[in-house]
Every structure is written in C-alpha cells, then in structure tokens.
Homo-oligomer: A and B are copies of this chain.
Amino acid sequence: MADKAQLQESIKAQGEVVRKLKEAKASKDQIGEEVAKLLELKAQLGTDDGKQMFVLKTPKGTRDYNPKQMAIRESVFNTIISCFKRHGAETIDTPVFELKETLTGKYGEDSKLIYDLKDQGGELLSLRYDLTVPFARYLAMNKISNIKRYHIAKVYRRDNPAMTKGRYREFYQCDFDIAGQYDPMIPDAECIKVVHEILTELQLGDFRIKVNDRRILDGMFAVCGVPDDKFRTICSTVDKLDKASWEEVKNEMVGEKGLAPEAADRIGEYVRMHGGFDLAEKLLQDPQLSQNKHALEGLTDMKDFFKYLELFKITDKVIFDLSLARGLDYYTGVIYEAILIQPLNVHASEELGSVGSVAGGGRYDGLVGMFDPKGRKVPCVGVSVGIERVFSILEQKAEASEEKIRTTETQVLVASAQKNLLEERLKLTSELWDAGIKAEVLYKKNPKLLSQLQHCEETGIPLVAIIGEQELKERVVKLRNVATREEVDVSRVTLVEEIKKRSIQL
C-alpha cells in the first residue's frame, strides 16, 4: 500500500496548509477551499474496510448560502431587479435543463464545460450554460418578435472553480435583454445605462465598461490578413488579452493557430488602441479599415452609440477598446464588459484586485434564427450581471464592518417570567400572527426570562411582549424595548397598534 502512505502524506501536508491559513486569519472562502481539498483527499483514503468514506460536502465548485449570505443576496437582487423594472422589463423563467441539442453549437470552444444529465431513458438533457440560449429558444418557440425581459437564475459550467474570486460551477446570472427590430444602437445604449446604474448603486468602487463591436473586429482581422476561416479562433485568442500579455497572445496566434507573424503584429497595433467617440472617428479615417464593409458599419454605429451614451451622461466610464473580443460565438454586433477597478479596500484587497469582470454582453442577431424552423431572425441585445463576484466583495465588506446583519424580521417575542403560561403565550402569539405582526415564541413549556431576552439580543428582535398572572388579570401586556430595557404596560386591545407604531420608529 505505497499509494496509501503517499495519500496520508498529502493529507498531512494539506492539513498543514489549512492550519496555516487559519493562523494567518485568511478569508473564509480561502480556508473553505483548502478544507474542501483536504476532505477530498480523506475521502480517497476511505475507511479501513476499504469502503469510501462518506463526505459531508456540497459538490465541487458549489456552495450553500447561509442566512447572512442570503440577506446580502436579497439586497443585491433588490437593487438589480429595481433597475430592470425601472427600465420597463418583464420577467420570464425557463427550466434548469434544456434538450441537449438546444445547447449544441452555441458556445464554441466552451461547449466542453456543459453539464450533461445521465441518459436514464427518454430525452438527452443538459443543464443550462447561460440564460441567453434558453431565451432565444423561448422566443423562437413562442414566435415572439419583441420583448424586453429580465431573467435571474442559476447557470452551470464545469469550469475550474476559484471560489475566492467568486468563480463557481453553479452561479447566478442576472440578464436583461431587448429583442426586436429597432433603430440601431438605441437598445444597445440602454443596456450600458442599465449596467452603469447597477454598478453605481451597488457601491462596489470605481468601474469601467469596455465596448467594442464584432463587426469592427472582423474588419480588423480582414485588413490585417487573417484568413476568413480563422476569424472566430483568433477572436478567442484576442479575448485572452485581459489575462495574458501581448507576447503570450501573439505566440498562441502564430504558434498554435498558424497565423502569419506579420498579421499578428498588425493586430497588435490595433488592439492597443482605446478611446471613445474620437477613436471611432479616427479609425473611420484609416484608409484600409474604412474600406471594409463590416468595419465601416461597426464604426459608424459606434459613433451613434457614444452619442446616446453622452445623452445618458455615462461616457466617463465607457471605453471603446479594440482588444475586447468576448468568448462566445453568438455575438454579431456591439459587445461590452464591465470591470471593477480600484476595488474597495477591505482586508483581502490584493486578491480583490483580480475580481475583474462583473458584467458582460452584446448584440446577437442570429441566435433566435438558429432555432426558428424558417430561420426567421429576431435581433437581440442584452447584458448579464455576474453576481457571485459582487457577493464575494459585499460579503467581505460585511465581515470587515462590525455591523450586525439581521436574518429575520421578527418584531416581537412573546415571553413570560412565570411558569405554566405556555398556553397563554401561544394564544397571544397566534393573535399577533393573525393581525399581521411578525412574532416568535420559544418552544419550551417554561423557558427562563433570561433565555428569552437573550434570544432577542442574538437575533435582533426589538420588542418583547411579557405576560404573567398579573398582566392576564388586568388584560395588559408588559411591552419591553430590548435595547433600552424600558417597560410599559399596554392594554391587550391596543397591543397590535402599539407594536406597529414602535416598529416604524425602531
């Protein structure tokens, strides 16, 4: 059993990693990740009888949300949904899985990351990879030619998880899309406005929204001498520029993808360019680029785009960046990506520097047609806000601040200092529920007053309604303010009113 000895060594080493992280007070996420690795190693070891040990964990790349995390999530969703509704969007929902063939041929090189379901007889199914393809399928299936909708739901990618950076295998997308035949760039500009509003309201620190256009990229590739059939694959390589250096990207173009070095160098000159309306004007003067039909269209539209963004007063955050490419196959026009810069200075600030992209999207005019039996096209443009990275930041922010997050909304605890009053407590609690008051009662026959008050302090319940023999006789309740410890007798008749009044003040 040399393998076993080796495994035990690994477990020991990994145990050491976890211990050191805990000593160094590393972030919960980071510790959690290393603990997960440790558990996996232990599971490989198994028990003495050779049976695999049962591992108490969530699947790789996924996590539970505890009540505090849910409170943060709820507030983020409220901000995002309010914005989507402010822009007149309705909402839809689709199943978590689709027929496998619905997803086939939509994601290019990323298709290998799709989760398939086991063939248990019947249809072949896959978990949704994004919300865009199901949306396009929905439009085609229901013959809808215009709609503005949002959809907030979980999507699934068998990617290499990096949970400390908020990269999970199960994660939320918050999508806002506008489908319909409209005048150019107007809905496109609204999508950028939506991203701008959301990132501003979430207060995550400063951000930029990079924009480009697939037509400009295609034109650029053409004038640089990239063969037509290499556009998509070279596009995927350019997309890596946010993580890799130009040298690395060039090597991939020339070495792996067989592009001529001169072509790569010419691309290199373009992708260094960024600016705004002026850059679009300048490129329209470029004698070669302006001769290319696609580039000409893209650049002309880009000027309108910036004109609309100017009306929305958001050009200070928007950069026309020729290196932005986006990985997905289905984009046909404008593309964009929002990144956080100078993130909030919380305890793991260096790590946060790499939080990067928090929203992205673009125009995809051909996707719905891929589903329509008659190839009928529905032009679409949309944006997807990636919430997990936002959660990571807000969670760390919440941890760093001393502020206590309440996870319930209970207004009052019904309590007693005396024995044998369970029934009276239940009766009063029930009366409060029926009057719409958020109330709790301890599930003990004779709880101590102290433990009842402690429950309030721990969970942030602001009021206690105390009853005893005397109060029952006088048809009153002693209403106690947990924070000030003030107590007043309130008639049973006016109790509900009194609690409502105090809940507004608190």
The answer to the question of A79 belonging to the interface, with a C-beta cut-off of 8 Å to chain B, is no
- Residue from B87, B118, B154, B426 within 8 A of A440 (CB atoms): B87
- If A311-B426, A312-B426, A443-B182 touch, does A433 touch B86 (CB 8 Å cutoff)? yes
Closest to A185 in B: B443
- Digitize A331-370: 1 where CB-to-B-CB distance is under 8 Å, 0 elsewhere: 0000000000000000000000000000000000000000
- If A56-B373, A99-B59, A433-B87 touch, does A67 touch B149 (CB 8 Å cutoff)? yes
User: Within the assembled complex, what's the spacing in Å between the Cα atoms of A435 and B183?
Assistant: 26
**Closest approach, in angstroms, between the C-beta of A53 and any C-beta of chain B?**
9
Q: Is the CB of B123 within 8 A of A59?
A: yes
Q: Which residues of B contact A426 (CB under 8 A)?
A: 186, 189, 308, 311-312
Number of this chain's copies in the assembly equals 2
- Residue from B64, B142, B436 within 8 A of A138 (CB atoms): B64
Closest to A74 in B: B91
User: Within the assembled complex, what's the spacing in Å between the Cα atoms of A193 and B437?
Assistant: 14
The answer to the question of A438 belonging to the interface, with a C-beta cut-off of 8 Å to chain B, is yes
Q: Which residues of B contact A183 (CB under 8 A)?
A: 422, 443-445
The answer to the question of A410 belonging to the interface, with a C-beta cut-off of 8 Å to chain B, is yes
Q: Is the CB of A64 within 8 A of B86?
A: no
- Digitize A165-194: 1 where CB-to-B-CB distance is under 8 Å, 0 elsewhere: 000001000000010101100110110010
Q: Which residues of B contact A70 (CB under 8 A)?
A: 90-93
The answer to the question of A407 belonging to the interface, with a C-beta cut-off of 8 Å to chain B, is yes
The answer to the question of A316 belonging to the interface, with a C-beta cut-off of 8 Å to chain B, is no
Q: Is the CB of B313 within 8 A of A438?
A: no
The answer to the question of A247 belonging to the interface, with a C-beta cut-off of 8 Å to chain B, is no
**Closest approach, in angstroms, between the C-beta of A192 and any C-beta of chain B?**
11
The answer to the question of A22 belonging to the interface, with a C-beta cut-off of 8 Å to chain B, is no
Contacts A/B (CB < 8 Å), 18 sampled:
A55-B99, A58-B98, A58-B99, A59-B98, A66-B92, A67-B91, A70-B91, A86-B437, A88-B408, A88-B440, A90-B408, A96-B156, A116-B120, A117-B117, A122-B158, A180-B443, A182-B444, A193-B430
Shortest 7 CB-CB contacts between residues of A and residues of B = A182-B443, A67-B90, A62-B95, A88-B440, A90-B407, A65-B93, A116-B118
